[in-house]
Structure 1
Amino acid sequence: MSEPVLIERRTVEGAPDPQGPVQWIVINREERRNALNEEVVRTIDRGIREAVEGGQVRAIVITGAGDKAFCAGADLAKNAKGFAFAVDYSRPKHYIVDLFKRLQECTLPVIARVNGHAMAGGFGLLCACDMAIGADDIRIGTTESKIGMTPMMILPYMLRVLPPRKLQEMCITGEQFTAQDALDWGVLSYAVPRAQLDEKLQWLLARTVDKSPTAIRLGKQAFNATRDMGLREALEYAQAMVPVMSSTQDAKEGMAAFQEKRPPNFTGN
């Protein structure tokens, strides 16, 4: 029986050497349209944690197997293990909430390779990534209203990405939308013909992995923090973070490399 999630490290085509690898996390349930259950979610969570803790990985790619579905959301089959809508009241945290918190705290750039349709929880997973490249024939949606539910646990991320009225329409009607819609709303960073999906992904990865890991780490922290602040609080936070950033080894190396007109050698310190 194949593993429900494949985790492997790959090099980036076209990136200058030496660069750290990229952690690929592939939902490997093509026969179930890469649907989520507890085992899948916890393995994705573990893959993200291992990439961050290892100290060598420069980026994470999340995708699905095959070419039909990025992720269809929760596995609704009667025999599904770890039914996503079940809650154990003796445990305060749901495994899907744990994954979204892991993504929120992840210090590495996370890119969704949207190889197929992204529905319900799969659409929430897409929204939780930092960047996303999709094939231009995919469809997106939150279809929970069709089964008497609403996309409760993915709503916080969707609210941060989608225009409110379009999100409300999506949640109420349960209808699907196109890749062009996703591009127009900022859900996808890029939408390309399917044959060009991996070429465009490698292009984006090459532009990512040669940058300062420290700048990305502190930048993601600042992005997530200031997004939830008022303007005055955000300005105070930004003012305090500037000397923190400038004191890092990567900042000093970046400035020296700029002045000496040479490529920087970032170490992530």
Structure 2
Amino acid sequence: MSEPVLVERRGAVLWITINREERRNALNEQVVRTIDKAIADAQSGGEVKAIVLTGAGDKAFCAGADLAKNAKGFAFAVDFSRPKHYIVDLFKRLQECTLPVIARVNGHVMAGGFGILCACDMAIAADDIRIGTTESKIGVTPMMILPYMLRILPPRKLQEMCITGEQFSAQDALDWGVVNYVVPRAELDAKLDWLLARVTDKSPTAIRLGKQAYNAMRDMSLRESLEFAQAMVPVMSSTEDAKEGMAAFQEKRPANFTGN
């Protein structure tokens, strides 16, 4: 039996591939926990500069929870004696991840898979994919993924998506800010490589502090975020990468960032 998640280093990039093509890359506890661990290991290792999250094949990025009988997909495998759920652990991991996480949206994205897409930092999608939160068609609402959708989608479109359970196009995802780029399927990996090149040559320290600041400020008032920003400027400026970046600029040479 093949592994349900493939974890592979490609240079400075860690690829995480949900490898359940026959189940449209649906989620279960093993899949979610494996993704969670892979992200945690990448952060602690110090060698990875970016993470790519994708699905096997070309039909689905992720179809959400596995709804097959006895599959124990997360939507229906709730133990009320254990209120902390493993999908929430993954969302928290993505929220706290200091590495850029890019979704390579190679196929349709539904339900919980759409939540994972919204939790990534950036996304590139093939132009023939469909997106949707189809939970209302089976009598539930996308509760677990709603916190991330609220941060990404326009409110009216979010309500329409959740209430109708209908599917929308890649162009809709681009127009709503769910993905950064939409390209023909044949150009998906070339566009991904282009984006990764723009990410991995930057300071890991600047990205790490920037992501922390972004996630913190998003939950603050304007006044709080301004106070936080002015406190962070001297911290950021004191890093080795900041000093190297300034020296490289003044000396008109490429910077040699070390992540310190």
* TM norm structure 2: 0.99
The verdict on how the C-alpha distance between 1:82 and 1:143 changes in structure 2, with shifts beyond 3 A counting, is closer
The reply to whether residue 44 of structure 1 matches residue 35 of structure 2 is yes
Partner of 1:18: none
Distance across 1 between alignment mates of 2:81 and 2:39: 26
Q: How many residues align?
A: 260
Q: Any unmatched runs of 5+ in structure 1? A: 12-20
Match of 2:131 among 137, 140, 149: 140
User: 1:189 & 1:56 partners in 2: Cα distance?
Assistant: 26
SS in structure 2 at match of 1:250: helix
Closer, same or farther in 2 for the Cα pair 1:82/1:119, shift >3 Å? closer
**What is the 5 A alignment of 1:76-225?**
76-225=67-216
Cα distance 1:77–1:237, how it changes in 2: closer, same or farther (>3 A)? Answer: same
Q: Is the 8 A contact 2:126 2:184 kept in 1?
A: yes
Task: Check whether the contact 1:38–1:84 (CA below 8 A) recurs between aligned residues.
Answer: no
State the distance in 1 between where 2:170 and 2:130 align.
Answer: 6
SS of corresponding position for 2:65: coil
Contact 2:49 2:204 in 1 (8 A): yes
Question: Aligned residue for 1:15?
Answer: none
Q: Contact conserved, 2:14 with 2:42, CA < 8 A, in 1?
A: yes
Picking from 250, 255, 260, the partner of 1:264 is: 255
- d(CA) in 2 for partners of 1:67, 1:82: 22
1:88: how far off?
1.6
The alignment's TM-score, normalised by the length of structure 1, stands at 0.95
2:246 and 2:79 mapped to 1: Cα distance?
52
SS in 2 for 1:208: helix
1:8, 1:25 within 8 Å by CA — same for their partners in 2? yes
Amino acid paired to 2:17:
V
Give how far 1:87 is off: 1.6
Give the AA of the match of 1:77. A
2:238 to 247, 264, 267: 247
Q: After the TM superposition, which parts of structure 1 deviate over 6 Å for at least 4 consecutive aligned residues?
A: none
Structure 1 residue 82: Cα displacement: 4.9
Contact 2:67/2:73 (<8 A) preserved: no
CA distance in 1, matches of 2:89, 2:202: 28
**1:190-239 deviation per Cα after TM superposition (whole angstroms, max 9, x unaligned):** 00000000000000000000100000000000100111111101100001
Partner Cα distance (1:141, 1:198) in 2: 23
Query: Where does the alignment leave 5 or more consecutive residues of structure 2 unmatched?
Result: none
Kept after mapping to 1: 8 A contact 2:74/2:87: no
Secondary structure at the counterpart of residue 63 of structure 1: strand
Deviations 1:29-62 (A, max 9, x none): 0000000000000000011011101110000000
Tell me what 2:6 maps to.
6
Q: Write the letter of the residue equivalent to 1:236.
A: E
